Structure 1
């Protein structure tokens, strides 16, 4: 159980999967569509896969995979994730887990995050962001410039220009 606890605490979104499982593939694809970069552990490909599978079984998971953890908490398997998605509850859950920021953390960047619903004058900040043309949060600024939201950041990553942009802004050292 300790190995699972450690693994799920290291990243905002963790998926335990099997490479041959079609439901696992569906869940992973859904997360990737949202621009989430989850830690994916294929139990049939890693050395301690059997031990992890037994720990997941002790959590009461049957079937065991896929097993999705968000923010260190067990959320469920394919049925639960698809249900959350259909209820339009999955994206807010992922946002709260800081899934996009895991990409920056992977680079070694420690972004400043302002939760608009938790700071004084958050509504005013949101109005300014809307006036700047950023209708959705997260709104990501790099080097003082508005870059965009999740889609823009993931697009920059796929084009392999995000890291150089972070280096130029002085947010990342190489």
Structure 2
């Protein structure tokens, strides 16, 4: 399952693993949309393999497991990490470098 998660995480420039009931997941998705990115969203609670994917994310070092944000195929962190990157201006440049947004 870890290989499937890695594959999903690298299919698009920006990928977010979420749960539909998670308010921080919703906030991170909204932030990406406001920045002009259209990330691939994988809602673990709506996927038949969601529980296994969540365990695989934990095994890959994602803690908490949602939201798990990948940019350019690389794990960048959870909500706290993404918000920190946004505040210091790094997130937008990471999205540009990964070709998730264009300016």
Give the shorter-chain TM-score range.
Answer: over 0.9
1:48 aligns with 2:35: no
Aligned residue runs from structure 1 range 21-32, under 5 A: 21-32=22-33
Aligned residue runs from structure 1 range 148-159, under 5 A: none
Tell me how far 1:41 sits from its aligned partner: 0.4
Runs (4+) of structure 1 exceeding 3 A deviation are none
Where does structure 1 lack aligned partners over 5 or more consecutive residues? Answer: 101-136, 139-174
Determine which structure has greater relative contact order: mean sequence separation of CA pairs < 8 Å that are 6+ residues apart, divided by chain length: 2
Task: Tell me the TM-score normalized by structure 1.
Answer: 0.57
The 3-state SS of whatever aligns with 2:52 is helix
Tell me how far 1:59 sits from its aligned partner: 1.6
Tell me how far 1:61 sits from its aligned partner: 2.0
Tell me how far 1:16 sits from its aligned partner: 0.1
Q: Distance in 2 between matches of 1:60 and 1:90?
A: 20
Which residue of structure 1 lines up, in the alignment, with residue 34 of structure 2? 33
How many residue pairs were aligned? 102
Where does structure 2 lack aligned partners over 5 or more consecutive residues? Answer: none
Q: Distance in 2 between matches of 1:27 and 1:88?
A: 15
Q: Distance in 2 between matches of 1:63 and 1:54?
A: 11
When Rg is computed on C-alpha atoms for both structures, the one with the higher figure is: 1
